[in-house]
């Protein structure tokens, strides 16, 4: 998804986003490696405006996705959404000296550079969505998970396993006595 820099003026340029997930390489990779399944296109609205010596691009994007709960292994669907603001400056990507310490302000953390007469937002959009994908997805905060003994889903009901029966690697040493 590209925006022509010449079209961005002091009045906001609004763009509707409706792109298939295949357009974004990072999201396609996440889907291919089983992180999640995207169930629809990436949709959203982006506005771009010229401000002083930079361009401000702000917007929101959403995409429906299906995850596997990390506790009970059940599939569940949700919508991933992100609101963002990125400041673009013309020029090559800054190459700072690694040995020199530089203090970054809030605006530096959401800045990017562009060259030429177009800004490609593909990487920024996929990055915003990828940052919202949970590392350990949960179907709910109160998910009880699976019984470690019999494997029954504890959200569906209780199991007949005793709670005192814990199988740890060092459980064989529980009756070990040291005599002096």
Any idea where the domains of the chain sit in the sequence? 2-142
Buried b (16+ CB within 10 A) or exposed e, 92-120: eeeeeeeeeeeeeeeeeeeebebeeeebe
* Joined tokens for residue 104: 């970054």
Describe the crossing of helices 122-132 and 25-32 by its angle, rounded to 10 degrees: 40
Q: Please state whether the predicted TM-score (pTM) of the whole model is above 0.85.
A: no
What's the pLDDT score for residue 167? 60
Query: CA-CA distances (angstroms) from residue 124 to 20, 104, 132?
Result: 15, 20, 13
| 109 phi and psi angles, rounded to 5 deg | -75, -20
* Joined tokens for residue 149: 């003994």
What's the pLDDT score for residue 80? 93
* Joined tokens for residue 94: 């800054």
Exposed/middle/buried for 164, CB within 10 Å: 0-12, 13-18, 19+? exposed
| Tens of each residue's pLDDT in the chain, 180 residues | 788 777 777 788 888 989 999 999 999 999 999 899 999 999 999 998 988 888 888 999 999 999 999 999 999 999 999 999 988 888 765 555 556 766 655 555 567 777 778 888 888 899 999 999 999 999 999 999 888 888 888 888 888 876 655 566 777 777 788 887
What's the pLDDT score for residue 164? 57
């Amino acid at each position: 998804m590209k925006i022509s820099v010449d079209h961005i003026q002091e009045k906001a340029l609004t763009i509707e986003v409706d792109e298939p997930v295949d357009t974004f390489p990072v999201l396609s990779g996440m889907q291919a490696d089983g992180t999640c399944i995207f169930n629809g296109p990436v949709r959203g609205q982006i506005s771009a405006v010229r401000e002083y010596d930079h361009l401000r691009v702000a917007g929101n994007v959403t995409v429906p996705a299906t995850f596997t709960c990390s506790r009970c292994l059940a599939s569940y669907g949700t919508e991933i959404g992100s609101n963002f603001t990125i400041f673009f400056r013309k020029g090559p990507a800054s190459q700072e000296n690694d040995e020199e310490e530089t203090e970054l302000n809030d605006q530096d953390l959401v800045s990017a550079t562009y060259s030429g007469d177009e800004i490609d937002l593909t990487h920024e959009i996929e990055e915003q969505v990828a940052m919202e994908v949970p590392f350990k997805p949960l179907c709910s905060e109160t998910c009880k998970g699976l019984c470690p003994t019999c494997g029954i889903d504890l959200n569906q009901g209780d199991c007949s396993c005793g709670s005192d029966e814990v199988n740890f690697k060092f459980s064989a040493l529980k009756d070990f006595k040291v005599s002096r």
